[in-house]
C-alpha cells in the first residue's frame, strides 16, 4: 500500500516533507532561494545548489554529512545571506 499517494492526507504529508527538505518557504523570488537540502542514502543531509545539484561550500568546507538540524541551520543561513547580498545597493 502506498501510504503517501492513496489519500489526501498522504499527499499532503508528502508535499510537506518535500517542502521541508527544500528549506520551507522560499525567499520572495526563486533567484534568492539558491540552496536546498536533501537526505542521502547514509541518512546524513547535504546542502546543495538547487540549479546545479552540487553540494554547497561554506568557508571552503563542503556541506555534506550533516545532521538534519545542522542542515536546516546552514540552509536558512545560506539563503538568508543570499537575500541580504542581493538587497545591497
**Global confidence as pTM:** 0.60
Q: C-alpha 27: how far from its chain's center?
A: 12
Task: Look at residue 44 and give its three-state secondary structure.
Answer: coil
- The predicted pLDDT at position 4 comes to 46
The 8-class DSSP code of residue 31 comes to: G
Q: What is the pLDDT of residues 64-79, one digit of tens each?
A: 999 999 999 998 888 8
Distance between CA 28 and CA 83 in Å, rounded?
9
What tens digit of pLDDT does each residue of 3-55 get?
A: 445 666 676 666 666 666 665 555 444 455 688 899 999 999 999 988 888 99
Domain spans in the chain, listed from the N-terminal domain onward: 8-87
| CB 83 within 8 Å of CB 61 | no
Q: CA dihedral defined by 77, 43, 36, 17, rounded to 10 degrees?
A: -110
Amino acid at each position: 500500500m502506498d501510504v503517501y499517494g492513496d489519500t489526501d492526507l498522504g499527499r499532503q504529508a508528502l508535499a510537506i516533507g518535500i517542502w521541508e527538505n527544500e528549506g520551507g518557504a522560499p525567499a520572495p523570488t526563486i533567484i534568492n532561494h539558491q540552496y536546498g537540502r536533501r537526505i542521502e542514502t547514509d541518512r546524513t543531509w547535504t546542502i546543495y545548489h538547487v540549479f546545479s545539484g552540487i553540494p554547497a561550500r561554506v568557508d571552503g568546507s563542503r556541506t555534506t554529512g550533516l545532521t538534519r538540524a545542522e542542515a536546516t541551520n546552514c540552509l536558512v543561513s545560506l539563503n538568508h545571506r543570499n537575500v541580504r547580498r542581493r538587497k545591497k545597493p
